């Protein structure tokens, strides 16, 4: 890849509510001052949950959203490869209340830096191969649960009972089966969540180095 068409992809994985979005947005806001507002973008893995518009709401609710099969990584890989080639992509929009994609998409143009964030990114070797750097947010599960309850009730219209039931039935078991083992593939393991200033500075410095190489 030539310097003129360089695209640095950084993946940030970890448990739900571990601080992935916070550290991704912090790095985005601080790096865009250096590389330019239009040269850095963020892609959320949640946007690539599979289209379930053909299913009833009752069936959608039963989907295990913490299992790799719930995600369309084929499309995500395709989009990343296009961005690397300098092509724009249409990122799907996902509705948490409807449990499926909407009819809308967001146009993402090629960037110098793409930050990916999502719970299952490091479980897929195809995605790992496209990353220039990978991060795992190693936040204790009890803290993640408290954050998830607050977020899903306040921001996503969920009831506390439904959040706790989902956590017990799928979130924690899938974390232990898929997400936690994927930590071994991370280049950097970040403790204490998304406000870890030292980790943020290390990541920014590493990305800057990749851009110059």
**Candidates 3.40.50.300, 3.30.1330.90, 1.10.3210.10, 3.40.50.180; CATH matching 3-212:** 3.40.50.300
Consult the annotation and say whether 18 binds a ligand: yes
Cβ atoms of 12 and 24 within 8 Å: the answer is yes
Note the pLDDT of residue 1.
Answer: 34
Consult the annotation and say whether 20 binds a ligand: yes
DSSP H helices, 62-196, are: 73-84, 125-130, 141-155, 160-166, 172-174
Note the pLDDT of residue 5.
Answer: 58
Consult the annotation and say whether 88 binds a ligand: no
Consult the annotation and say whether 194 binds a ligand: no
Q: What is the pTM of this model?
A: 0.90
Consult the annotation and say whether 213 binds a ligand: no
Residues (pLDDT < 70) of the chain are: 1-5, 213
Cβ atoms of 114 and 7 within 8 Å: the answer is yes
Tell me the chain's radius of gyration from C-alpha atoms.
17
Domain coordinates of the chain in residue numbers? 3-212
pLDDT (tens digit per residue) in 93-137: 999 989 999 999 999 999 999 999 999 999 999 999 999 999 999
Consult the annotation and say whether 133 binds a ligand: no
């Amino acid at each position: 890849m030539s310097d003129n068409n360089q695209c640095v992809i950084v993946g940030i994985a970890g448990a739900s509510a571990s601080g992935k979005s916070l550290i991704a947005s912090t790095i985005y806001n601080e790096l865009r001052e250096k590389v330019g507002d239009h040269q850095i973008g963020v892609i959320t893995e949640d946007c690539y949950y599979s289209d379930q518009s053909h299913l009833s709401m009752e069936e959608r609710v039963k989907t295990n959203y913490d299992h790799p099969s719930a995600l369309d990584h084929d499309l995500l890989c395709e989009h990343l490869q296009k961005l690397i080639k300098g092509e724009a992509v249409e990122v799907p929009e996902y509705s948490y209340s409807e449990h499926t994609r909407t009819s809308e998409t967001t146009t993402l143009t090629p960037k110098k830096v793409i930050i990916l964030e999502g719970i299952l990114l490091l479980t897929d070797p195809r995605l790992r191969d496209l990353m220039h750097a990978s991060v795992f947010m190693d936040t204790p599960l009890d803290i993640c649960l408290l954050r998830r309850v607050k977020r899903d009730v306040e921001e996503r219209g969920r009831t506390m009972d439904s959040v706790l039931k989902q956590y017990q039935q799928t979130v924690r078991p899938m974390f232990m089966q898929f997400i936690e083992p994927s930590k071994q593939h991370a280049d950097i393991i970040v403790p204490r969540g998304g406000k870890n200033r030292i980790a943020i500075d290390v990541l920014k410095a590493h990305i800057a180095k990749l851009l110059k190489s």
